A and B are shown apart, each in its own frame.
Chain A
Amino acid sequence: MSMIEFKNVEKYYGDFHALKNVNLKIDEGETVVLIGPSGSGKSTLIRTVNGLEEIEEGQLLVNGFDLHDPKTDMNRIRKNVGMVFQHFNLYDNKTTLENVMLAPRLVLKRDEAENKKLAMELLEKVGLADKAANMPSELSGGQKQRAAIARSLAMQPKALLFDEPTSALDPEMIGDVLDVMRDIAKDSAMTMLVVTHEMSFAKAVADRVIFMAEGQILEDSTTKEFFEKPKEVRAQKFLSQVEHH
């Protein structure tokens, strides 16, 4: 069953045509990497999936619900679709542990003892158990991002969106975050859509690679196909640029 499905989706910012006739299907459990030059609409596309951006035309089905239908309850979608941001967006007024526990408590009404147990397990998993009581301002960038991933996982979502999760990190922090993401991708039930410039991650983890430019999906290939020989000239160019970086 497809978890995310774009059907002829158009998105505008005022007069600016940000997504052009996007068609895309991502099955449950798939890990898809989305690449493309800056300004090509990667963030826009990924943000439509949990309703942070509205679409103007077409259909966008997430977990069976059409986001373009005004009757769709966006909060219900977001319960099932987590998101990890470039700049973490941790709750600055909450400890690491509270960051992880807040949404399950408020939204899922998870029992407090169970919530805490699960949150600590997740912090353990991302290597932050010893930072549970710290405020976000006391964490390094890499730690913040791992805390943000734990926060998303605590909702036990069906899908996770990552928008350049390592782009704001110092190089030595990137590995730990990618390791955590790799672990999540191993969970066969989790659907992942990842915007990243980390080609080694894409090669190792992605089932498919999607290449975007100027608001359009230019290529949608299996990872193997894509890295052996991209069909699109622009994708080839882009690849050689990021790989020699």
Chain B
Amino acid sequence: MALLQNNFPTFLQGFGYTLLSSIIALIGSMILGTGFAIMQILPQKWAQVIGNVYVQVFRNIPLLIITFFFFLVVSKYVKMSGFTSGTVALMLYTSAFIAETVRAGILSVDGGQMEGARANGLSFAQAMQHIILPQAFRIALPSLGNQFINLVKNSSILAFVGGLDLMYQGNMVAANTFDTFSTYIIVAIFYLILTLPLSYYIQHLEHKLKRAL
């Protein structure tokens, strides 16, 4: 407890950076993931190829390597902090998984929905936005929830590049106090403060949407 009290501002700062990184990466990866999911189902061959290559590349490389790539290589050309490198890497990495999840969701929406919409005069984009994606997200919600929780936990990658996040601050506190055990317990609790409500919120959404159908 004394450990928590003495280092509270440090933990809190780490918590803040983890939260910030998670929110940015989550929003970014949802947008990118949805975009690349749609590319994969477009009739144009070139779009499918781009979508597929993107997903395969970012899904099959360890997150740590992507992070180092931005921190060590890209940062030579575009100035970016460890926080930015880690967050961008986390966003791209997660977006590949989200693209797969959303694509599966889109494919499991009945084909009649798109036909009905097009015959009704909606453009492809309007049909996607108003009819297909809302249903696809609902179908994909449980596994999207898993991706979001993984994302929060994976944000600990920031610690490797001086990203000032929870894990990074935990490492600092542990090094200064030598009380490794207590420190990481506290870090774990802070992660739970983020992930548990997220978990419950997703479950709540699932129930709510099930009733709406």
Contacts and interface: CB of A to CB of B under 8 A. Distances in A.
Interface of A: 50, 52, 75, 78-79, 82-83, 85, 87-94, 102-103, 106-108, 135, 137, 148, 151-152, 155
Contacts, number: 66
B119 A82 contact: yes
Contacts of A89: 112-113, 115-116, 119
Contacts of A82: 119-120
Interface in B97-153: 110, 112-113, 115-123, 126, 130-131, 134-135, 138
B2 interface: no
A151 B112 contact: no
Contacts of B213: 92-93, 135, 137
A78 B122 CA distance: 8
Nearest to B109: A92
Interface residues of B, number: 20
Nearest to B135: A93
Given A102-B130, A106-B130, A87 B112 contact: yes
A105 to B, nearest CB: 10
Contacts of B116: 85, 88-91, 148
B119 A50 contact: yes
Nearest to A90: B116
Give the top 9 A-B pairs by smallest Cβ distance, nearest first. A89-B116, A83-B119, A89-B112, A107-B121, A103-B120, A78-B121, A79-B121, A103-B121, A93-B134
A231 B113 CA distance: 40
B212 interface: yes
Given A50-B119, A75-B121, A106 B126 contact: yes
A93 B135 CA distance: 7
B185 to A, nearest CB: 44
A79 B118 CA distance: 10
A152 B131 CA distance: 16
A98 B113 CA distance: 14
A151 B120 contact: yes
Q: Which of A89, A90, A151 has the most CB of B within 10 A?
A: A89
B208 to A, nearest CB: 13
B31 to A, nearest CB: 21
Contacts of A75: 121, 123
B119 A78 contact: yes
